[in-house]
A = this chain, B = another copy of it.
Amino acid sequence: MNGAESLVRSFVGAGVDVCFANPGTSEMHLVQAIDAVPEMRAVLTLFEGVCTGAADGYARMRGVPALTLLHLGPGLANGIANLHNARRAATPLINVVGNHALYHIDYDAPLTSDIDTLARNVSSWIKSDSTAATLASDGMAALQASLTARAGSAGQIASLIVPVDACWSDAQGVASPLAPPAPPAVGADRVQAIAAQLDGDSVIVLDGAGLSPEAQVDAARAGHVSGARVVFSTFPARTDGGPGSPRIDKLPYFPEHVLASLAGVKRMVLAGAATPVSFFAYPDMPGELVPEGCAVHTLAAGDEDVAKALADLADALDAPSVGYAVHEIGSQNPGTGRLTTRSVAACLAMRMPEGSVFCGDSGGGGAAFAPTQQAGSNTWLNLTGGSIGQGGPAAVGAAVACPDRQVFALLGDGASMYTIQALWTQAREKLDVITVIFSNRTYGILETEYRRLGVNEVGDRAAALFDLSRPDLDFSSLAQGMGVNGVRTDTVEAFDKALTDALEAGGPHLIEALV
């Protein structure tokens, strides 16, 4: 058995059996190993940003990391934008990046570059000097690291940069998985101190492991009995919700809206969340979005046992297990005629099957969050790192992870184009992904931000840098070019028909919604 096969067999033995791949010459032995180990499912993508975003979506749904298989520095570089999002989501993820043999590096062949520097931008664990003898155990160390909570994270990105001679040389067999350390429990003193202060002027902010359904319930119990409000951070990696689940809002996006939403709060309790901060710096706007005079208490940091701390908090407050506000089933009224972001959201809520997964990106998708909570059980995977082009790839990963659930990718037209290649993998793997493009022919957020500079009239040359018309993107042609059925709609009736047709047919579909 060579090093490549020892690595693949070790991963499979440890339950890591999906690999999102865009290999090159230096990964041919790994491809050969994948060929020899049928338990490893390899999913080909046409662009590495799809690999990394899919691995992120997969792990958010499964809790188990997927592998990416990438080709030297440029292959890793193409995946970094979505690795950035995965890092912010605290997703466990393992990059396997092929490299030259180390003895070949000094020749400075064309594809040579300092891969470690690229990996460092997104990875908490890097190893780049494996030999065939160590490769399997290095893989298991990468897995352990990916599942180890660190400050501010429930999981992390491990990058195993593999010299090709470690793949082709003889190995010593498979390695066994290593158990990740359990996150430390929060002491009773800290929980008690927070319980004693929690009141109607308090807010509990959830993120990371504080987002799980059980943790949401415990937070809602604590909030209900104490009068404290419970919120999600602005971009929670994953939320599960629907009728019967706690009614919890997300913090808004713009800093002035966050501050308005928190006005009057005297105590902020962080459960797996960081202190809210402004997404960007603006003149005359604070970075930290904490009302004046508000004390910030950390109930549990991202590397602590957040869920248990919330359960302990609820217990410390003798909170009953019922009585907190929950999402009620609501009816949706998408209206008729001209399509709007709101009517698309209503149609989605009206038609979504139970258990649907929504992968949001930028654009109008977020408008569907609230309506879907009233419609059926749902999971949302949000854009965590601000790097657009996540939604389509994340939908690929979610659909591979959960083939029995309907997946929706809700994408802005601009955002979708960074990783439009995701459609091809959806077609190849026959994934139940419905992509909705909120097509307003502009980078809408940029026009908004530009006006926030105090500009009232946007000059032609600036406007051209936000404008996505000239030429209009035709998403149904793009979809068909990659083997996905695509439809353009501009009325509620047409959108609703396209949606019901897509759901009935199954498999991948794209619906462009002119909003």
Contact = CB atoms under 8 A, between A and B. Distances in A.
A226 to B, nearest CB: 28
18 contacts: A23-B446, A23-B465, A25-B445, A28-B446, A28-B449, A32-B453, A32-B455, A44-B465, A46-B468, A74-B81, A74-B84, A77-B81, A78-B78, A103-B281, A107-B278, A109-B280, A110-B384, A111-B387
A34 B387 CA distance: 24
Interface string A287-314: 1100000000000000000000000000
A512 B475 CA distance: 20
Contacts of A115: 121
B418 A450 contact: no
A81 to B, nearest CB: 4
Give the most central of A24, A80, A424, A465: most B CB within 10 Å: A465
Contact of A80 (B35, B77, B100): B77
For A235, A274, A418, which residue has the most chain B Cβ atoms within 10 angstroms? A418
Listed from nearest, the 7 A-B pairs whose CB atoms lie closest are A471-B483, A477-B481, A77-B80, A478-B481, A74-B387, A104-B281, A35-B462
Contacts of A277: 107-109
A46 B471 contact: no
A121 B122 contact: no
Contact of A461 (B34, B80, B235): B34
Interface string A106-136: 0111110111011011100000000000000
A113 B117 contact: no
Contacts of A477: 477-478, 480-481
A385 interface: yes
A46 B474 contact: no
A478 B471 contact: no
Given A80-B80, A121-B77, A35 B459 contact: yes
A509 to B, nearest CB: 14
A414 interface: yes
Nearest to A99: B281
Given A28-B446, A80-B80, A473-B482, A281 B120 contact: no
Given A25-B449, A482-B473, A111 B46 contact: no
Interface residues of A, number: 98
A55 to B, nearest CB: 16
Contacts of A288: 107
A472 interface: yes
A95 B478 CA distance: 30
Nearest to A427: B471
A1 interface: no
A262 to B, nearest CB: 16
